[in-house]
Structure 1
Amino acid sequence: MIIDGIGQGLMWACLTIGVFITFRILDIPDLTTEGSFPLGAAVTIKLMLSGQSAVVAMLCGFGAGFLAGMVTGLLDTQLHIPSLLAGILTMTGLYSVNMHIMGKANIPLLDQKVLTNYLPETWDVTVQTIVIGVIICTIVVALLVMFFKTQSGLALRATGNNTTMSAANGIKTNRTIVLGYAISNGLIAVSGSLIAQSNGFADIGMGIGTIVIGLASVLVGEIILPAKKMVWRLIAMVLGAIVYRVLLTLAMNVGVSPDDLKILSAIILVIVIVLPMIQNQYRSRQQLKRYLQKLNLNSGVKTDE
């Protein structure tokens, strides 16, 4: 069951990385996630049913998510709509877009060849899922590491750290923010594409709660592997997605109903938000205690003299 959780975690890793880009790098809560995730699934399944290969369909899914992110970015930067509301507006509009793409609320994949079918048939399905997940995550992490070393990537990170200072130094912050939105939602759409292929269908409601899943995975990854270098931060996101899905898999195997997974996700998110706060408070108290002990010790020495 843990192996199944690892495979599913790798499928969700692109979602986690996408949420990481907006939430951590740009410091923006982007709810477009819940629309771009099923968008990637819808585009992929529809193209595969029309005869396109899984690879081409998934790349088109990335492109669709990229465009959805651009829409949110333009609403935010050009129309000055608050980022949270801009994401909600795009997410709402994408519901209709996804319905038009699929034609109905749910479309099955039927007998089309998915990514795992390119691997030897003798391999177990779970092993195939893990191999495909590792390949895709490796490609995504490698490409992002190279991107963040470019001028555009450095501008994106600088804009997230301090928008005003970045603009003062000549960075076109609006363009950079739109690019961040676009890359984020493109990766989220890729995750939707992978999950749709794994499940064998695309569903109009499959994006509900994905922002909670993404945020929880980001925070879990940061707890597991706290790092400053971008390559390790991205690897931490992959690990966070894996651990999160393993936790959900274990919960289901001990009797938790699938209907309760959403509330379980919310509980996990609350825990990973509160846990670092408790740790910081504990460290602060310990530091204060050591300082007071040192102060008392010095006072005692002076008194003896």
Structure 2
Amino acid sequence: MFIALFGAVESGVIYAIMALGVYLSFRVLDFPDLTVDGSFVTGAAVAAISIMNGVPPVIATLLAALAGFLAGCITGVLHTKGKINALLSGILMMIALYSINLRIMGQPTLSLLNESTVFKQLRSAWEGTGIDSFLNGLLTSMGMERVPGTWSIVLVMIIITILIKLLTDYYLKTEVGLALRATGDNKKMIRSLSANTDSLIIAGIGISNALVALSGALIAQHGGFADVGMGIGMIIIGLASVIIGEALFGTKTIAIATIAVIGGAIIYRVVVTLALRVDFLDTGDMKLITALLVIGALVAPKVLQARKEKKRRMEKRAMLTRQKAEGV
């Protein structure tokens, strides 16, 4: 059980980068961007083909993020300059990216098992530290299973994800970031202040998809392959992470909201992992599990709020009845 949960946390931290990208488009910009399903694969495809052609893994990963940024900018241009509906512009770009990703890869699937990746280099650099032996020793002393691989991926990815979270927080508090948030809240108002909302939307969607593509590149290197269909349903996973995180941790400030998104991504992967261990469920039910999680995360807060309001009304009615009785 522990090994399965460890793997869920490991992948959840990587998917959290993608969830931060979805948060930027859906929550900050209020832009329903379906480009995500395509740009996630674009990141994986660019990273995979770059590595296979001798590009260092770190540079290949950065190139993947740049490709995602360009894809997002095109979606933004379609919406702002082409005057195409936001939802439709994302769908059009997602469809176009399917063919573009096939062109990049040259075939539906690319294997990275025999290639040098960021995580293989990380494991090699980590082996001589002795940290794995120390942490596995602690697990053994507590009567838990030893991790068969290495702790390097989860610990380093936590650091990277937190750094991206802090950079996102900082960016959203800058003058440009505040204008971006204002654009999502009230586009007409910010436009009346002579702000270029078109440029803000293009840049915001570009950054969002850059994070999504970065996550796709890391997932491809983590799993050892890039597949043209690996992005299907990514937008739902991202939304599930955002909604679950917001329901559990709240959104009082940007800092809390972004940490909630990261926590939501990890919790989502853990819940899916636990659900798939149930006998009558298998990997084919993952999309159903995701849909049920999103429905639960959306409905539960409203049900709880309705109960609180009902309880408040009943208490108020009881208090009025008591006051009338005392007055009599």
TM-score (norm 2): 0.89
What aligned pairs does 1:1-305 form with structure 2 within 5 A after superposition? Answer: 1-116=4-119, 117-119=121-123, 120-121=126-127, 123=132, 125=149, 127-255=151-279, 256-303=281-328
Please give the per-residue CA displacement for 1:36-69, whole angstroms capped at 9, x wherever unaligned: 0000000011111111122111111111010111
* Aligned partners of 1:4 and 1:126 also within 8 Å: no
Look up the SS of the partner of 2:226 in the other structure: strand
Please give the per-residue CA displacement for 1:130-153, whole angstroms capped at 9, x wherever unaligned: 123212201211111111121110
Amino acid at match of 2:24: I
Amino acid at match of 2:278: V
Please give the per-residue CA displacement for 1:242-284, whole angstroms capped at 9, x wherever unaligned: 0000011112223321111111111111111111111121121
* Aligned partners of 1:3 and 1:126 also within 8 Å: no
Instruction: Say what the alpha-carbon RMSD is for the aligned residues.
Output: 1.3
Gaps of 5+ in 1: none
Gaps of 5+ in 2: 133-147
* Aligned partners of 2:13 and 2:265 also within 8 Å: yes
Q: 2-side partners of 1:92 and 1:268: how far apart?
A: 27
Q: 2-side partners of 1:262 and 1:31: how far apart?
A: 17
Q: 2-side partners of 1:12 and 1:52: how far apart?
A: 24
Amino acid at match of 2:323: N
Please give the per-residue CA displacement for 1:175-200, whole angstroms capped at 9, x wherever unaligned: 11111111111101011011101110
**Pairs aligned (count):** 303
Identity within the alignment, %: 39
TM-score (norm 1): 0.96
Q: 1-side partners of 2:65 and 2:112: how far apart?
A: 18
Q: 2-side partners of 1:47 and 1:30: how far apart?
A: 27
Amino acid at match of 1:121: E
Q: 2-side partners of 1:227 and 1:35: how far apart?
A: 28
* Aligned partners of 2:11 and 2:269 also within 8 Å: yes
Q: 2-side partners of 1:73 and 1:91: how far apart?
A: 13
Change (3 A) 1:66 1:297: same
Amino acid at match of 2:318: Q
Q: CA deviation at 1:26?
A: 1.2
Please give the per-residue CA displacement for 1:101-157, whole angstroms capped at 9, x wherever unaligned: 000000001322222232413645352221232122012111111111211101011
* Aligned partners of 1:7 and 1:126 also within 8 Å: no
* Aligned partners of 2:44 and 2:213 also within 8 Å: yes
Amino acid at match of 1:50: N
Amino acid at match of 1:79: G
Look up the SS of the partner of 1:29 in the other structure: coil
Q: Give the stretch that moved more between structures: 70-79 or 130-139.
A: 130-139
